[in-house]
A and B are shown apart, each in its own frame.
Chain A
Amino acid sequence: MRFLRWLGAFFLMRWLRRGAPPVLPEAAEEDSSERIVPAGSKERRAENLVLVLLALAVLFAIGFIVTYAEFTSRQMPDEVLGIFLGGALVLIGAAFTVVAKRLVVTEEIEEEYPSQHPQEQEKIAEIIHQSGSRITRKRLLLTAGAGTGAALGVAALTPVLSLGPVWATGPLDETPWKRGVRLVDEEGRPILADDVVERTFYTAFPEGADPELLASPLVLIRVDPSKLRLPHARADWAPGGILAFSKICTHAGCAVALYRKPTFAAVEPGEALICPCHYSTFDPFTGGTVIYGPAGRPLPQLPLEIDSSGYLRAAGNYSARVGPGWWNVRSRPT
């Protein structure tokens, strides 16, 4: 009776595990003498499936080559290339899945987790201790060695200083603006004050200077002069309501490339200069003060004047240093 129950259980187990042939250590021993990897049942249909998947993968690979060869580069359908190459790879992946699930035996093996080796640890310490038996002033020698290493390390690192003008931070403050420099547009054409109209937004550069210097680009706007609330010292910085600010955000150095202007002034906030990176918002009427966002400093303002021919010129240098904050950025601009 008990024997029959065991037999029933055994066949039930076999039946339940038919997907992945079970590997009981006993069964392996019975199966054939001294096998390492136990045998499983033959699966011809799975083999056929693998062959079909691989054949399809070959077709996809050929499809890739044909597509590559057939089209000119101007019309190359990269999506078709992707389908063929990615499809071939996925098919191979499917073939390996069949191999894993149906064509190799999945053994479940036990093993001890590796432990540590206290004896070896002691031996290592012993070897090191005993190797120093002829040395009397160990600490001194070790300190001397460490000191030498440190000195050599610092020496080896000094050439790093050649990477840039590290100590000479002057270039960070370089500005091409001074009294009399004419404002030009991106094509280098000088800007007439009369061409600058309200409710729009211009980018201007110093004539003849490198536009890529951070201090070069300006945002230029014209506002109603009666609305200006500039600091007293800047009373004459905005002739005819034309204002110029550095275009480089004082937060993280992006271009202040957005100009907010209310479409319905009664309910919407007033004109402002906004950096699209982190939405630092500067008030042009008060001289570029921060009214929103993370910037920690106002946008530097450039004083303007209009020359006898009507062109815009700088009337001096910025109100503050240009660009994102660093140690020395609040020093007086030179």
Chain B
Amino acid sequence: MSSLRPSGRDGDRDPLLDPVRFIDQRTASAPLLRQVLRYLFPDHWSFLLGEVALYAFIVLIATGVYLALFFDDSTAKTVYHGFYSPLDGQTMSAAYKSVVDISLRYKAGLLIRQTHHWAADVFVAAIVLHLMRVFFTGAFRRPRELTWTVGLILLFTAFLEGYLGYSMVDDLLSGMGLAIGYGVGLSIPVIGGPLMLAIFGAPFPGNTHFWSRMFIMHVFVLPVLLATLIGVHLGLVAARHHTQFKESPRHTNRRLIGVPMFPGQAPRSLALMFFTVGILFLLGGLVQINPIWQWGPFEPWYGTNGAQPDWYLGWLIGALRLMPSFDVTISHFTLVPNPFWGGVLFPLLVLGVLMAFPWIERFITRDPSAHNLADRPRDHPNRTGFGVAFLSFVFLVFMFGAADRLFVLFGFNYNTQLTLFRIAIFVLPPLLFLLTRKICLELQASDAIEEMHEEAEEEGKEHERALLRT
């Protein structure tokens, strides 16, 4: 390497200068580039979760483009005569047939399709974990509320994008999912009917326009929106820099200590990227996900038991199932049909609480100052307690979405589970709030003791040294 990096003095020209000069002459960006190279990253493993999401998104784009080269967004009926003999002679939509062909007919198609699906699941999972990290360390506070808000919109856009992705395949499961989506949409008070007619073009299962609409949303509109939001999110992060933990007295609210992008951080991030992408392809090759040829095509009168959506929609299924049976009616008008509570209000409530949280916390703590230091969760018992309670509430609803699976796997009576979960979602979160708060306070107390202990030890040593000297 050293031969590529001569001193650059007296005639001995550095060949690296040529491209650098080329870029700077045309873009006048040398100062910016230098700044970028030396941009500082605080060093903590939990800061990498967002990066994993970014790399999963890159995989989604790359594999998605490949899949779009084969996918047919038409519901025109065809008869299948392909490699998969159990479906031979079956009437199905061109959309479903094209995905069966991607899976079984085109070389490496199954690998790409399954990797795409896995990447979607990992993308959302990484965002959720990243969200939890940011929440519990208080990294959402001023001056990073916008980053937080953009991230939340990004997450909910990702839910919709994933839902459309598996809906447009037109296998049995996607049809059932679409039916529920249609039912939930219809349940929006007053405007539900017209809104669903606008989106589906006709009553469920919709007309042909609906399929082109889903396709263009999934492969163009939402990906562009996601990419834009990711860009804005990263831009905001860079503008304010990452938060850092107070690992030493040198880490302060005004002084950032970190590893520069180049050369320190770049190979680490690249390593993480290649690991993420590599593991996604290993999953895509080795772990089957959504074998659509087994489900068969969808018709509105088909349904199957034990169908589960992708994990990130489990909380909505759970919420729909937990609701007691009632519609809110005024004379013969249905003001609030039942699916509204679980399918619309519940997710909007979760989004709303999370969106408003930076402002709520600022209002309660009366702390308008800017924070660049990430908190340890134990140092904010109330926030951590609320976070755990809120998370447990959503998680319990999510778990109930799998109640039928719990019944099949462990024999827990579904009806008993329904009763227990209905009680638990109201009882457990407050209990967990109190418990978490207590644990945080205990941890703080043990920290204080440890500090005293260390100080005392230090004093003792000092004393010893003094004795030795005499």
Chain A interfacial positions (CB closer than 8 Å to B): 37, 68, 71, 73-74, 76, 78-83, 85-97, 99-100, 103-114, 116, 160-161, 163-167, 169, 171-172, 174, 203, 205, 211-214, 216-217, 247-249, 251-258, 275-280, 290, 292-297, 323-332
Query: Which residue on A lies nearest to B103, using beta carbons?
Result: A78
Query: In the complex the two chains form, what is the Cα distance from A216 to B300 in whole Å?
Result: 10
The reply to whether A114 and B240 contact each other, CB–CB distance below 8 Å, is yes
Using CB atoms, name the residue of chain B closest to A329.
B334
The answer to whether A104 and B197 touch (CB under 8 A), given A85-B285, A279-B321, A325-B327, is no
A326 touching B332, Cβ below 8 Å: no
A113 partner, pick from B107, B200, B253, B278, beta carbons under 8 A: B253
User: Is B73 in contact with chain A by the CB < 8 A criterion?
Assistant: no
Residues from chain B with a CB closer than 8 A to the CB of A169 are 193-194, 197
Alpha-carbon separation in the docked complex, A276 to B414 (Å): 13
What's the minimum C-beta distance from A181 to chain B, rounded to whole angstroms? 17
Contact B281 A82 (CB under 8 A): yes
- Cα(A78)–Cα(B175), bound, Å: 27
Measured CA separation A51–B111 after assembly (Å)? 28
Task: Check: B430 CB closer than 8 A to any chain A CB.
Answer: no
**B285–A89 CB distance below 8 A:** no
Task: Give B243-257 as 1s and 0s: 1 = Cβ < 8 Å from A's Cβ atoms.
Answer: 000000010011111
Q: Which of these, B264, B282, B320, contacts A83 with CB under 8 Å?
A: B282
Known: A86-B278, A169-B193. A110 touches B250 (CB 8 A): yes
A93 / chain B contacts, CB cutoff of 8 Å = 270-275, 278
* A/B interface sample: 17 pairs, CB < 8 A: A68-B107, A68-B108, A78-B110, A81-B108, A96-B270, A96-B271, A100-B271, A104-B263, A104-B267, A105-B264, A163-B201, A164-B201, A213-B203, A252-B339, A255-B302, A329-B337, A330-B332
Compute how far the CA of A110 lies from the CA of B335 in the bound complex, rounded to whole angstroms: 59
Q: Is the CB of B111 within 8 A of A81?
A: yes
User: Do B285 and A86 have beta carbons less than 8 Å apart?
Assistant: yes
Complexed CA–CA distance, A290 and B239 (Å):
56
Contacts of A212 in B (CB 8 A): 205, 299-300
Q: How far is the CA of A254 from the CA of B372 in the complex (A)?
A: 50
Q: Are A255 and B285 in contact (CB under 8 A)?
A: no
Q: Closest CB of chain B to A52's CB: distance in Å? A: 16
Q: Chain A interface secondary structure, helix, strand, loop or mixed? A: loop
Across-interface contacts of B317 in A (CB, < 8 A): 277-278
* Candidates A80, A96, A103, A325; contact of B186 at CB < 8 Å: A325
Instruction: A26 to B304: give the CA distance in the assembly, Å.
Output: 70
Q: Would you call A112 and B255 a contact (CB within 8 A)?
A: yes
Interface residues of B (CB under 8 A from A): 38, 40, 83, 105-108, 110-111, 114-115, 143, 176, 179-180, 182-184, 186-187, 189-190, 192-194, 196-205, 209, 239-241, 250, 253-260, 263-264, 267-268, 270-275, 277-286, 299-307, 317, 320-327, 329, 332-335, 337-339, 342-343, 372, 404, 414
- Chain B nearest CB from A178 CB (Å) reads 18
Partner of B282, one of A82, A248, A253: A82
Contact B281 A107 (CB under 8 A): no
Q: Which residue of B lies closest to A162 (CB)?
A: B198
| A96→B267 contact, CB < 8 A | yes
Known: A112-B254, A279-B404. A214 touches B272 (CB 8 A): no
Q: Which residues of B contact A85 (CB under 8 A)?
A: 111, 278, 281, 285
Cβ contacts under 8 Å, A94 to chain B: 271
CA distance A254 to B182 in the complex (A): 10
Q: Which 10 A-B pairs have the closest CB atoms?
A: A82-B285, A325-B337, A252-B183, A89-B278, A296-B327, A93-B274, A257-B303, A86-B282, A86-B281, A324-B183
Known: A86-B278, A217-B301. A325 touches B258 (CB 8 A): no
- Asked whether B274 lies within 8 Å of A106 as measured between CB atoms, the reply is no
How far is it, in angstroms, between the C-alpha of A295 and the C-alpha of B320 when the chains are bound? 10
Q: Is the CB of A113 within 8 A of B337?
A: no
Query: Out of B176, B198, B202, B257, which one reaches A254, CB within 8 Å?
Result: B176
Q: Which of B106, B204, B322, B404 has the most CB of A within 10 A?
A: B204
User: Are A214 and B404 touching (Cβ within 8 A)?
Assistant: no
Given known A106-B259, A212-B299, A325-B334, contact A163–B199 (CB-CB < 8 A): yes
> Which residues on the A side are within 8 Å of B186 (C-beta)?
253, 323-326
Contact indicator B193/A327 (Cβ below 8 Å): yes
Q: Which of A78, A107, A275 has the most CB of B within 10 A?
A: A78
CB-based contact A166/B194 at 8 Å: yes
CB-based contact A253/B197 at 8 Å = no
How far is A270 from B202 in the complex, measured between Cα atoms in Å? 37
Min CB gap A77→B, angstroms: 9
- The minimal Cβ–Cβ distance linking B102 to chain A, given in whole angstroms, is 11
Q: Which of B183, B258, B299, B372 has the most CB of A within 10 A?
A: B183
Q: How far is the CA of A105 from the CA of B320 in the complex (A)?
A: 54
Query: How far does the alpha carbon of A80 sit from the alpha carbon of B304 in the complex, in Å?
Result: 32
A107 touches B259 (CB 8 A): yes
Q: How far is the CA of A280 from the CA of B198 in the complex (A)?
A: 28
Of B83, B192, B200, B329, the residue contacting A330 (CB under 8 A) is B329
